[in-house]
Structures are given as C-alpha cells and as structure tokens.
Structure 1
Amino acid sequence: MSELQYASPFERLIARIIDKVVITLPIYLWFGFNSNLKTVDYIANGILLVAIVLLNVLWNGQTVGKKVMKIRIQSYQEKKLHIGHYLLREFAFTLYPFYLLTQPIIKTGWLFWMLSTIVLILMYGRGIHDFAARTVVVRTEAKPLPESKES
C-alpha cells in the first residue's frame, strides 16, 4: 500500500509555469506584443483561469503542467471534487487583479498573501488556496521512500 506523497513546491511551481506558458503564449502571439498590453493581460489571465478550471474538471485534477510534472489535485477529505472546488481554489490563488496592484497597500497585501502561501506549502504541503478549497496536490506516481539501513 502506498501513501500519498505531496507534490513539492518546485513541482507545483514548474506545473504552474508550464500552464501559464502553454495557455497564454498563444494569446500574446495572436494579439501581438504591440497591442494594448494591459487588455491582452486581462484576456490572457481570464482564459488562463477558465482553462485551468476546465482542465482540472475534465482531467481529474490535472492540467497540462500537472500532467507533465506527474502531480494532481485531489480532495483533502477523500471526497469527489467538483467545479466549485477548482473555481474556489483558482480564485483564492489568483486573488490579485492586475489593475489593483497599482495601489501600494494592495501590493503589500498581495505580497503577504503570496508569501503566506509559499510558507504554508513549505510547512504543510498546502497553500491558502488549498486550505480554502479543501484540496491537496499529490504526486500521481509514488516515488519510493528511502529504505532504512538496519545493522
């Protein structure tokens, strides 16, 4: 019987970067980098949010990046996840609309939010968005645990 192994912060970060590049790069290429970049950012991030939620629903907690990194989202309480879990998780993660980041107090709040998420992932294997949605990100292929040497 294999125990669940939480995905490392590195695996989670690389999966997010892959998703962002695979989903948003075509949008930037389509509109061109000479367009109103702020508008293209809104469109790209809106599509990213929808795509991540839909892929998680359709692929049982995985996106393109999560498939590549061999990790997935699952319920912390061993229940079946539905679209509401994925929406809540993504909204809690992407709580920072770009236009609000022009205000210093909001920048400070966003920085605190992201740092808190990083610390929680390092300490408990779950970020604020995971706690909010009652999810956890686990490896799909269990890596063997190191064997203890007995003398």
Structure 2
Amino acid sequence: MDTYYRAGFWRRLGANILDGLIIGIPLTILAFIVSGERENSFTNIISFLYSLLIPVLWNGYTIGKKICGIQIRRLDGRPPGIGTMLLRNVVGGLVYAVTIGIAAVVSAFMVGMREDKRAIHDFIAGTVVVHDGDE
C-alpha cells in the first residue's frame, strides 16, 4: 500500500459524478423507452449491481474511478471481494439511511479532513480509496 496515495474528497466526488452520468443517463433513457418512466426498479437494480459488482470484477475500479485514476482497495492492499463490497455498499448505505443522511455528511467531512481519507463505509468494510500519486 505504500506506493499508493489516499484519494481525497474532490477525486472521489468527481468519480461518483462521472459514474452517475455514464451509468445513470443511459439507464434513465432506457427505462423511459421501455416503461415510459424516468426511473423504475430496473434502473435501481442495475445501478446497485454496477456499484457492487464492477469493483469486484475490475480490480477496485468503476468507470468513473478509472477515469479519475482512483480505486477501492482493502487495507491489506488487495482488491475488494464481494463480501467487502456488500459491507461497503449495503451496510454503509443502511447506516446512511438510518441516520437520515447525517452520516453521509460526516463521511464527506472525514474524507476531506482526515489524514487517512476514509469515510464511514470505508471503516465498515476495511477499505481505502487510493490513487497512484499523479496529480
């Protein structure tokens, strides 16, 4: 892990925005064509599976993370597995939902202010988001 640098707030936000645009827009268009609705359970399921499975299958990257040069890693340096991503996305998401989003705001501040740049969902899953040091 010492050849990697921790990804901060802006890189992570940029990757999330890119993922939302790259995955969300086509899914919304497809859902509208198929069902006449902007959003339905199909788009929610595909979005969930994307955020859960793509990092497992693609060495810790999503499309947005790859573009931004960041990736999810376990604390031991290995890429995340399905159990790690379930903890990160499902349990982390439940914490954010139960706290009515307050924990999400706290997480944003944690990523922006903590030296280790880890959010609540990173602590739950034992992960860190890293980049190779190119600025």
Does the CA contact (< 8 Å) of 2:95 and 2:103 recur in 1?
A: no
Aligned to 1:24: 24
How far 1:61 sits from its partner (Å)?
0.2
- Provide closer, same or farther for how the CA distance between residues 53 and 138 of structure 1 changes in structure 2, counting only shifts above 3 A: same
**RMSD of aligned C-alpha atoms?**
2.6
Aligned to 1:58: 57
- Percent identical pairs in the alignment equals 30
Cα separation, 2, equivalents of 1:73 and 1:95: 20
What are the ranges of 5 or more consecutive residues in structure 2 without an aligned counterpart?
A: none
1:61-100 matches, cutoff 5 A: 61-79=60-78, 81-95=80-94
Aligned counterparts of 2:26 and 2:78: Cα–Cα separation in 1: 35
Give the alignment's TM-score, normalised by structure 1: 0.74
CA contact (8 A) 2:31 2:42 kept: no
Change (3 A) 1:80 1:32: closer
Q: 1:137–1:91: structure 2 CA closer, same or farther, 3 Å change rule?
A: same
The aligned counterpart of 2:15 is 15
Distance 1:96 1:129, change over 3 A: closer
Partner of 1:35: 36
What TM-score, normalized by structure 2, do the two folds share? 0.82
Is 2:88–2:121's contact at 8 Å kept on the other side of the alignment? yes
* C-alpha deviation, 1:4, in angstroms: 2.3
SS in 1 for 2:5: coil
SS at 1:136 equivalent: strand
Aligned length: 131
**Any idea what SS the aligned residue of 2:101 has?**
helix
Change (3 A) 1:133 1:15: same
Q: CA deviation at 1:80?
A: 5.2
Gaps of 5+ in 1: 101-105, 145-151
Contact 1:24 1:45 (C-alpha < 8 Å) held by counterparts: no
Inter-CA distance 28–80: structure 2 relative to 1 (3 Å threshold): closer
C-alpha deviation, 1:115, in angstroms = 1.1
Q: 11-20 or 59-68: which moved more?
A: 11-20
Structure number, greater radius of gyration: 1
Deviates more, 1:71-80 or 1:125-134: 71-80
2:129 aligned residue (137, 142, 147): 137
Q: Return the offset for 1:92.
A: 3.6
Q: Give the SS at the match of 1:81.
A: coil
